């Protein structure tokens, strides 16, 4: 939007002086609010056309809040504020400020909102797909890491020995290994206990 409107304030003598040049909706919103943007002190204000210097009547516009716009767009005000910040961040009122949406802009904002909403749905679907793919890849890695390996030969021997169905030659090898282990344990000197 072009800055085609001037906000005027009264000086000490009562004369109107130019305060700032801005867009028509912003100027009319300030006049309707009765104070300058980012200044809560009420002042006598008026909006005039930048070129013709004719006063612009405040009654020619009606401003809407995000809640009003949300009702017209059949959504909630939080979604509308997110849309406004994303699509019209330059016109954002700032911290603690209020959105002043012109009634004449509703048709244009409706089209922009529908486009933004479709883009948001596509973004969410893409993010959900990426998340699902990441979960699948993670599950595949976990499955590969936790997949049991082929049984070791010793596992088969232990299982057969537990059942008592170990072939005689294998049983002899196992018995001999146990005997060697017991002999080594017996051959090592036992630590003496200190007597006091």
Buried b (16+ CB within 10 A) or exposed e, 26-49: bbbbbbebeebbeeeeeeebbbbe
Domain co-membership, 49 together with 77: no
- For residue 118, name the pLDDT band (cuts at 50, 70, 90): very high
Q: Is the pLDDT of residue 136 over 80?
A: yes
Residue carrying structure tokens 């612009």: 56
Q: Is there a domain that residue 175 lies in?
A: no
Domain co-membership, 68 together with 128: yes
CA distance 187 to 9: 108
Buried b (16+ CB within 10 A) or exposed e, 97-129: eebbbbeebeeebeebbeebeeeeeeeeeeeee
Domain co-membership, 68 together with 121: yes
Number of domains in the chain: 2
Domain co-membership, 50 together with 69: no
Domain co-membership, 73 together with 140: yes
In Å, what is the CA distance from 27 to each residue of 30, 40, 177?
5, 15, 97
Domain co-membership, 14 together with 86: no
- Whole-prediction pTM value? 0.41
Q: Is there a domain that residue 82 lies in?
A: yes
**170: number of Cβ within 10 Å:** 13
Average pLDDT over residues 185-193: 73
Query: How confident is the model over 153-179, as pLDDT tens digits?
Result: 666 667 776 776 666 666 677 888 888
Domain co-membership, 69 together with 56: no
Q: Is there a domain that residue 164 lies in?
A: no
Q: Is the pLDDT of residue 47 over 90?
A: no
Query: How confident is the model over 56-65, as pLDDT tens digits?
Result: 877 655 678 8
Q: Is there a domain that residue 155 lies in?
A: no
Q: Are 112 and 87 in contact (CB under 8 A)?
A: yes
Domain co-membership, 27 together with 71: no
Domain co-membership, 89 together with 35: no
What average pLDDT does the structure give for the chain?
A: 80
Domain co-membership, 82 together with 136: yes
Domain co-membership, 142 together with 68: yes
- Among the three residues 147, 163, 182, which one is the final residue of a domain in this structure? 147
Residue 4: partners with Cβ closer than 8 Å, 6 or more residues away: 23, 24, 49, 50, 51
Q: Are 47 and 56 in contact (CB under 8 A)?
A: yes
Which residues form the domain of 46? 5-60
Q: Is there a domain that residue 194 lies in?
A: no
Domain co-membership, 47 together with 80: no
Q: Is there a domain that residue 97 lies in?
A: yes
């Amino acid at each position: 939007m072009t800055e085609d409107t001037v906000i005027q304030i009264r000086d000490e003598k009562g004369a109107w002086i130019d305060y700032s040049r801005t867009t028509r909706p912003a100027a009319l919103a300030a006049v309707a609010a009765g104070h300058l943007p980012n200044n809560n002190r009420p002042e006598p204000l008026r909006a005039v056309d930048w070129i013709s210097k004719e006063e612009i009547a405040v009654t020619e516009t009606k401003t809407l809040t995000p809640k009003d716009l949300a009702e017209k767009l059949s959504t909630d005000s939080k979604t509308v504020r997110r849309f406004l910040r994303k699509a019209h961040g330059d016109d954002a009122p700032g911290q603690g400020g209020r959105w002043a949406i012109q009634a004449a802009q509703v048709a244009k904002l409706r089209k922009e909102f529908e486009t933004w909403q479709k883009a948001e749905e596509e973004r969410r679907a893409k993010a959900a797909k990426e998340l699902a793919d990441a979960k699948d890849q993670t599950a595949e890695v976990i499955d590969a890491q936790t997949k049991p390996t082929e049984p070791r030969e010793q596992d088969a021997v232990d299982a057969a020995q537990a059942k008592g169905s170990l072939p005689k030659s294998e049983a002899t090898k196992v018995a001999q290994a146990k005997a060697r282990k017991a002999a080594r344990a017996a051959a090592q000197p036992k630590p003496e206990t200190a007597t006091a």
